[in-house]
Amino acid sequence: MTVDRKLFSSASEEWYTPRHVLEYVKHVLGGHITLDPCWSPMSFVQAEKWWTKDNDGLSRVWNSPRIFCNPPYGRGIGKWTRRAAEATGTVLLLAPARTDTIWFHELLASPRLRGIVFIKGRLKFATPAGESTVGAPFPSAMFLLGGDVGEQSRLYSLQHFGMDGAVWLMRRG
């Protein structure tokens, strides 16, 4: 098997969400995704609406009920996480668990943050050819921004989708 090494280095900003993670995302968001603001034709995400690099999801207003965002993981990730925190609707954001970054602490301080899932181990991100067998070189987390008690409680269903981790809920008004 040939593995594209740039997918596991800073040479690539695109980390395609594995299918089992997408099933979990859909479950948390109540069954389907209404917007993917950083979609790629090589992605497995099926959303009602999506934006690509060509139509620049970062510059648009994210006004949709159930948003999933797996942003480019380069130096500009903070712009994506800030846009997710400003969105209307519920956002489930998949990002590296980089607790030493400004953008991570901005998410923690967001009044819209309802929960965090720290995924145990390293996700095996998908490649355009299919699922990868090599774990990412970083840990991952999911951030629930907005949402209700139902979406918060569904965060705990990790194991039903082949994952394990720790769920932290925020109790904010």
Residue 107: pLDDT band with limits 50, 70, 90 = very high
> Does residue 120 fall inside a structural domain?
yes
Distance between CA 108 and CA 123 in Å, rounded? 22
pLDDT digits (tens, 9 = 90+) for 78-99: 999 999 999 999 999 999 999 9
Distance between CA 55 and CA 58 in Å, rounded? 9
How many C-alpha atoms does 110 have within 13 Å on its Cβ side? 24
2, pLDDT greater than 80:
no
| Domain boundaries, position 81 | 5-138+148-169
Residue that is written with structure tokens 């090599």 in the block? 134
> Does residue 143 fall inside a structural domain?
no
Give pLDDT, residue 6.
47
> Does residue 52 fall inside a structural domain?
yes
DSSP code for 30? T
> Does residue 161 fall inside a structural domain?
yes
Residue 172: pLDDT band with limits 50, 70, 90 = low
> Does residue 130 fall inside a structural domain?
yes
Give pLDDT, residue 131.
66
Contact 67, 85 (CB under 8 A): no
DSSP code for 149? H
> Does residue 95 fall inside a structural domain?
yes
DSSP-based three-state secondary structure for 22: helix
Both tokens assigned to 20: 């089992």
Provide the CA 4 distance to its chain's centre, in angstroms.
22
Report how many domains make up the chain: 1
